[in-house]
Each structure stands twice: as structure tokens, then as C-alpha cells.
A and B are shown apart, each in its own frame.
Chain A
Amino acid sequence: MVALSDRAALRRLLDRFGFGPGPGDVDAGVARGFAATAAALLNPAQDPTPEPDLGPEPAKVAKGDTAGRKALAQQLRHQELILTGWWLDRMVATTAPLTERLTWFWHGHFATSEQKVRSPRLMQRQNDTFRSLGVGQFATLAKAVMVDPAMLIWLDGERNKTGVANENLARESMELFMLGVDRYTETDVRAAARALTGWVVDRDTITARLVPRRHDDGSKTVLGTTGNLDADSFVDVVLGQPDSPKYVVGRIWSRLVRGTAPPAPDVLARLVAAYGPNRDVHATLQAITREPAFTDSAQTLVKQPVEWAVGLMRALRVRPAQLPPTAAAALLVGLRGMGQVPFLPPNVGGWPADSAWLTTSAGLARLRVAQLITAHADLSTVSGTSTANRCAAAQALLSVDQWSGRTTAALNQVADTPARLVAVAACAPEYVVSL
């Protein structure tokens, strides 16, 4: 095991428990010390950013009404752009990066797509749930998500009623959200579906409620527990399975520490102990920062496209909310080219990981996004220094530990044009990967 330098360890802490360092953050963190920086990250102040104004829920449109459907689609697109722009801006500018990073994590874990939900207001409510409950007790979060309006629509929970089961939510919540594959039987799925019956969404009030006559209140047996199980008690049963804590903790590790290998058994055991019977996400995160394994050089992670783009905007102090409309739209097109747009995961299994992001077309899209962002950035720390020093200036600007010889040679080819230099630097392996 090779430990990172103090500086690199600090940089990694800011990468994984937020969206990466802004100017001066690494220096400040090194001065303060790793433990103190971690403690501050783990106890963020409240971010006072207000909710976005998405307007009212668009009116329903009759099936044959083509003009109406077209107008509806336009209204939804407009709301989607506002919501996505709002979230990207929040991720860049937040004073509580840990909270936002975990909101992003849960977004990928309880992956729900606007493409089917077709209501940015409902997606916003779900986003809020991830934010307010995402660093607390997992049981509380899971129970809220099981009856979240967007989730109920996404996994057909609304259509699951007594006598006519729809198993989608039951299966995916066990397999993907709480327990893992092959740890339950088909019989468990069918019983779980019965426990989850009866929920109905009201899009106008952005709420879900349990309708008694739609709910199966008979006795069910799920994973060995029998009773009149409902959504809450179902979650308790699943989270009480011995494999569940390892699974949940493992997922957090895979997205914050390393995706290409699970934690060593002793590390996992300590993290699970920290997660504990309270299923405490905050304690788990704290335990991660205290593990020597966390600062082992092997724990590298390819930044997801949104993580990379947000990190770049943080480093360059570019606010998505302040981009002109064409640039803001181009940013989303670029993210789509890289394979990731917030609120549009490909399926309930969530996002790809690591090398799967590194397709050839994604690489080209990345350069375009980098160019877009650098075009709106203040690059005076780079342009204000001599050509010979610009490579080093870019390294400092992006808080990169150290450029390799390969990257230095590449960057020096465009050192005379700061915007190009920084754009290429943002595409360098040392920046694309969180080392």
C-alpha cells in the first residue's frame, strides 16, 4: 500500500466528498490538516439556495390532441432545462459540497429518470428528499424514497394495487436499492409487491398517499418475516438482512472511493460497524476518511461526466446559472455527448462507472465541454504568466497533484493560447481521473 502525499490526500478528500477543489482550497486544507478538513466537510453549514421556480404542473392532455401534446412536451422541456440548470449551478456553487455530493450519489443509487416520470416538479421533490435525508439514517431515506411520488411513477408503484400486483418496485428496491442480487426469492418479490400496494400520486400537490381500499393488508412473508407488512415495515425487514449493510456501504465505497475493487474485508467490516444498527450514513462517511485505505494511491476513480464538469466549473469559477442561454444549452448537449445528463439515468440500475465512461465519442465531447467552460472563465492566473510557466499555472488552477511528462509535453504545445491550454489540461488523464 502506497500512501498519497499530504497534499494529494487533501485533494482527494475534496474530490470525493464534494466536487473537487476551488482555487486555494487545497492550500487551505493542507494548512488546516486532513482531519480538520474532513471534519469541516462532514459538518457543512446549511446551503440557503432557494428552490427553483418551475411553475405549475402542466395540464393533462387528451390522447388524440396532437397540438396539445406538442405544447406539453415543450412545457416539460422548459421546466427540465430550468431544473437541470439549477442543480448544476447548485453543485458548482454550494457551500455544502458534502451534502450535494451525497445528493448526487443517491440520485444515481435510487436512479429515476425524468424520461418516464415526465414531471420536473416531482423530480425536484425527489432531489430534495435526497438532499435533506442523504447524510442521515439510511432507513429514513429508504422509507421516504419507497413512497416518493417520482419513484412511484418510475417503478409503477402507483399501479400496484391489491389483487393486481406490479412487482417492479418490490424487485428493484431489493435488488438495487437495499440488498443486492440473488439475496431474495421470487416468492419474496411477490409478497413484497403486496406490501407496497395502494400508493397513489397527486401530481398537482406533489404528494403520495396510501389509499386503503387499494392496499393489500393481509399477512405477507418477506425474507422470513411474516405480518401485515407495509412499505415502512418492508424496508425494515430488508435492511435487517445480514447482507444489507455490506451492500449499502459497498455502493457508497464504489462511488466515492474506488469502483474497480471492493474494500478489503477488514475495512468493510469497520465501515459496516460505523454504519451500525442506526444505518448511519454520516458515520460511515466519517469512518471512510479515517481509514488508511482511503489515502492509498490505488483508490483511483474515473470522474463521472457531471462530476468532472462541475469540478472544472468550480476550479474555474464558472457558474452555470450565469452562462448565456446558448452556452447553457450547449453545456447540456455536451454532457449528453459524454453520456450523462442529470435526471436522465439510462435505467434504474444507475450510471456506468470508471472505464465505461471512456468511450471515444465521450472523449471528443469532453474537449468540447472543456472549451465551452474555459471560454467563460477568468484565466488570468494562466495568461498573466510567461508561456514557460503556464503549464504549472494550469496545474495549480485545476489543483492537479502533478502533471506527467506526457501531459506536460502535450500542454506545452498550446501554451501560447491559455484557453486552449486549460481546455486540453481538463482532458488530461490526471484530471479526468480522480487520483
Chain B
Amino acid sequence: MLSVTRRRFLVFSGVAGAAALAGGATQVPWSQLFDAASTSPLPPGQGVLVVVTLYGGNDGLNTVIPASDPAYQKARPDLAYQPHEVLDLGDGLGLNPGMTGLKSLWDNKELAIVRGVGYPVPDHSHFRSMAIWQTASPTTSVPTGWLGRWLDATGDDPLRAVSVEPVMPPLLAGARATAASLPVGGLKMPTGRLNDAFAALGKAQQGEPELTARVATSMVDLQNAARVLGGAVHDSGDTTPNTGKRGALAQQLGVVAELVEAGVPTRAYSVSIGGFDTHADERDTQQSLLTELDGALAPFVNRMKATQRGQQVVVLVYSEFGRRVAANGSDGTDHGTAGPVFVLGSHVNGGFYGTQPSLTDLDNGDLKESTDFRSVYATMLDGVLGTDAGRVLDNFPTRIDNLLTT
């Protein structure tokens, strides 16, 4: 199963940020984005959050692996990694062998692993669970994403949050504001009068219907993105019809890196990678994906270390649920519950947080969560975005103490 369609789960989760997204949400004057970098750049010392979503439900037990736990070996004999295969983290846990970059970050204390993250009364539907994680509302269906509400709470400027992926996630849809979106992979524009005419399609037309206005806005965005980001975004020159999307996350993070280093006023970025829904033949597929994740993430984190602006970046990596403890009949696992969340960056106190879920004290075959994901979000809102998390997360009380250095 490939990456979850964000728009589809908008429909299914009833996130009416759909209305915001439908009606001309990405009103980004891109000229403003880079002009702002020179006229009102991000003040030094202001944190920047990069949210990486793993779509499909990553199998946490084969990511942060209790290889020497006999219960682990017993539950999934053909899927399990052996102790000598994993990258040792201490505390009886090891990283998936594909994650050598993250292992180095761990050794440098720049990787924090929050264990057993989930929410009470887990939902096994991709769409509902992803909606829960993105709206930060486990019990009631709300129409806004948590970073969208952050935009609402702190002034509506859409430039402060940017989605660098093909489709806008509800994560970034507020009641009034919605983040800007940016394409990856090539903006080789036509020239001359053809481009003039094409660009002229973007002129606003008084009184036109919502959706045609939205088309026009997207034409403006395209012109601005091409003008402003020309150098940063390279033409992929894709000539083969049937290739998959390998390398997409690395491309997305490459664009984020450029924007951060340029000092644009954006405080939050959203990127993603899909394919984690490993119902069958899981081991190779997941290891391959985790290798891709590692290959995109570790260089990004290392690149950020090299500049002062980059050092303000904190990366949050999550998936919409973990997977079941026991393997199914297809050498895969079915949808589960709690899983590990990664937090990375120069201002992160590396190490373990939360409790490793027990493999024997289960909830109907699923891991029990020990850390509510909202405490992770709250910590990011307070510590990285400098906003009172209570305003965004309905006064959620807990935080992950000591996760971030000040």
C-alpha cells in the first residue's frame, strides 16, 4: 500500500479545513516569501519545526527493536531482527539496520526517541488515526490541524508554515489560515508571450466561483515559485512514465534546507514519505523505506548543524500508528497502535523518553501507549514555536520534560 491520500482522508475525517483548502487556501505571494527573507527575515534564535509524516502506519517494533526480548522473537519469528543485526541504542533496544545515519546522530545525542506514543482508545483506520494525529483531537472530529490552529492563534500569515509536498495535509489547515504549499521537482517555465498569456490566467476575476478563483491563484503561485526559487528547485527531467517516487523525501528536505538557510520567515514545514502500510512481506519493504528515510533525514540534520539558522531547526518524525505485535499470515503486520516518535536537531537532548511498551501486557494484541502524542506536540509548540501550547491543544497539560535544550 502506498502513501495515503491526504485529500481523501480529509473527506473521511470530516476535516472541514477542506473548505479552507478548497477556497483559495494557498494564497502565497511567493515574492513576499523571499522579499521577506531580506526585509523581515526570521529573527535569530527563533525555532523552526520540520514535521515528517510517515504515511501508512510504520511498524515501530521493527524500527526501535527489542531484539533480545524473547517475546519479540516469539511473536514474529520470520519478521524479527536478531540482536546482532540491529544498531545498538542501549536499554535492550536497537535501530533498524537501515538507519545508520540516525545511529550516528543517536551517538552524538542529537536524536531523541519517545517510546510508546499514541493516544487513548486507538483507532485502526488509517484515515481516522491519521486525522487524529494531524488534528490532535482523539475524541472529537475537528476541522482544523494542530499547526493550522497554531497559524490561527498567532496571526494568519500563511508564509509561516509551508508544506513541501505535492498535496496539502490537514495538519496545516486552520479555521482561517492555511499554510502555503510548494512543489518539488522542477519548474521549467515556458518563455515569451506564451508564458505571459499563461501567467495572465492568474489574474483575479471579480465574482468568479470559488474553484475557478482557486485555479487562478495556483497560476500566480506557480509564477512566483518559479521566479523566487528557480535555483533551489531542479528540473527532475522525468521521462519515464512508470517509475515510483524514490527520493521524494530527500528532495522535499532539500527545499526546506534552502528556505531555512535563506532566512525566510517560515517557522514550520511539513514533508512526508509513504508506503509504510506493510500488511505483507514487511521486512524488506520496511527496511527499504527506513533506509530511504534515514538517507534523507540524517544528511538534512547534519546540514542544518552547519549554520546558525539551521541549528534552530527541530525535526519531528511520526506515523499514524504502529503495527500489531504478532505477524499475520503474510509475513506482515496489521494495523496496531502505539509507536516511537523521533525528535532530532541541535537543540534536542538525545536519548530515550517515555516507556518501551510491554510485549506481554497487550491490549488485544496491540501495544499499550504510555505517552500521549499531544505531549510531544505541546513540547514542540512551547519549545520550538514559542507559543503557549494550551491555546492550540485545548489546555493539554503534559509535556516531555528535558526533551529540548533552551
**Do A and B bind?**
yes
Contact A339 B166 (CB under 8 A): yes
Q: Does B398 contact A (CB under 8 A)?
A: no
Contact B190 A352 (CB under 8 A): no
Contact B6 A424 (CB under 8 A): no
**B194 touches which of A156, A359, A414 (Cβ 8 Å):** A414
Q: How far is the CA of A160 from the CA of B280 in the complex (A)?
A: 11
Residues from chain A with a CB closer than 8 A to the CB of B335 are 167, 171
Q: Give the Cβ gap from B300 to chain A, nearest Cβ, in Å.
A: 21
Contact B211 A354 (CB under 8 A): yes
Residues from chain A with a CB closer than 8 A to the CB of B6 are 352, 356
Task: Using CB atoms, name the residue of chain A closest to B224.
Answer: A360
Q: Does A337 contact B (CB under 8 A)?
A: yes
Residues from chain A with a CB closer than 8 A to the CB of B4 are 346-347, 349
Residues of B within 8 A of A (CB-CB), count:
80
Task: Using CB atoms, name the residue of chain A closest to B334.
Answer: A167
Contact B13 A181 (CB under 8 A): yes
Contact A254 B11 (CB under 8 A): yes
Q: How far is the CA of A407 from the CA of B218 in the complex (A)?
A: 15
Residues from chain B with a CB closer than 8 A to the CB of A352 are 5-8, 167
Contact B242 A353 (CB under 8 A): no
Task: Using CB atoms, name the residue of chain B closest to A187.
Answer: B364
Contact B127 A181 (CB under 8 A): yes
User: Given the interface contacts A332-B241, A356-B167, does A166 sit within 8 Å of B3 by beta carbon?
Assistant: no
User: What are 9 residue pairs bridging A and B, where the CB atoms are less than 8 Å apart in the complex?
Assistant: A260-B22, A332-B242, A347-B274, A349-B126, A360-B183, A361-B184, A410-B197, A429-B205, A433-B215
Task: Using CB atoms, name the residue of chain A closest to B182.
Answer: A360
Q: Does A404 contact B (CB under 8 A)?
A: yes
Q: Does B329 contact A (CB under 8 A)?
A: yes
Contact B185 A429 (CB under 8 A): no
Contact with B along A220-254 (1 / 0, CB 8 A): 00000000000000000000000000000000001
Q: Give the Cβ gap from A250 to chain B, nearest Cβ, in Å.
A: 10
Residues from chain A with a CB closer than 8 A to the CB of B22 are 260, 354-355
Q: Does A336 contact B (CB under 8 A)?
A: yes
Residues of B that sit less than 8 Å from A by CB:
1-13, 18-19, 21-23, 25, 124-128, 166-168, 181-190, 193-194, 196-198, 200-201, 203-205, 208-219, 221-222, 225-226, 238-242, 244, 274, 277, 279-280, 328-330, 332, 334-335, 364
Contact B197 A414 (CB under 8 A): yes
Residues from chain A with a CB closer than 8 A to the CB of B168 are 356
Residues from chain B with a CB closer than 8 A to the CB of A34 are none
Contact B209 A166 (CB under 8 A): no
- A298, A348, A349, most chain B CB atoms within 10 A: A349
Contact A355 B197 (CB under 8 A): no
Q: Does A127 contact B (CB under 8 A)?
A: no
Residues from chain A with a CB closer than 8 A to the CB of B215 are 302, 358, 429, 432-433
Q: How far is the CA of A176 from the CA of B9 in the complex (A)?
A: 10
Residues from chain A with a CB closer than 8 A to the CB of B334 are 166-168
User: Given the interface contacts A166-B279, A333-B240, does A361 sit within 8 Å of B185 by beta carbon?
Assistant: yes
Residues of A within 8 A of B (CB-CB), count:
79
Contact A260 B18 (CB under 8 A): yes
Q: Give the Cβ gap from B350 to chain A, nearest Cβ, in Å.
A: 34
Contact A113 B196 (CB under 8 A): no
Task: Using CB atoms, name the residue of chain A closest to B184.
Answer: A361
**A:257-308 near B, CB below 8 Å:** 259-260, 297-298, 300-302
User: Given the interface contacts A332-B241, A341-B241, A359-B167, does A349 sit within 8 Å of B5 by beta carbon?
Assistant: yes
- A333, A358, A409, most chain B CB atoms within 10 A: A358
**B203 touches which of A171, A359, A406 (Cβ 8 Å):** A406
Contact A404 B193 (CB under 8 A): no
User: Given the interface contacts A347-B2, A413-B196, A424-B194, does A77 sit within 8 Å of B242 by beta carbon?
Assistant: yes
User: Given the interface contacts A300-B210, A410-B201, does A346 sit within 8 Å of B194 by beta carbon?
Assistant: no
Contact B9 A349 (CB under 8 A): yes
Q: How far is the CA of A116 from the CA of B279 in the complex (A)?
A: 12
Residues from chain A with a CB closer than 8 A to the CB of B210 are 260, 300
Contact B2 A353 (CB under 8 A): no
Residues from chain B with a CB closer than 8 A to the CB of A156 are 279-280, 330, 332
Task: Using CB atoms, name the residue of chain B closest to A77.
Answer: B242
**B2 touches which of A113, A260, A362, A404 (Cβ 8 Å):** A113
Contact B241 A336 (CB under 8 A): yes
Q: Give the Cβ gap from B48 to chain A, nearest Cβ, in Å.
A: 22
Task: Using CB atoms, name the residue of chain A closest to B196.
Answer: A413
Q: Does A411 contact B (CB under 8 A)?
A: yes
Q: Does A364 contact B (CB under 8 A)?
A: yes
Q: How far is the CA of A401 from the CA of B17 in the complex (A)?
A: 30
Q: How far is the CA of A430 from the CA of B211 in the complex (A)?
A: 9
Contact A175 B125 (CB under 8 A): yes
Contact A115 B2 (CB under 8 A): yes
**A166 touches which of B25, B167, B328 (Cβ 8 Å):** B328
Q: Does A136 contact B (CB under 8 A)?
A: no
Residues from chain B with a CB closer than 8 A to the CB of A168 are 1, 279, 334
Q: Give the Cβ gap from A274 to chain B, nearest Cβ, in Å.
A: 23
Contact B12 A180 (CB under 8 A): yes
Task: Using CB atoms, name the residue of chain B closest to A407.
Answer: B201
Residues from chain B with a CB closer than 8 A to the CB of A341 are 241-242
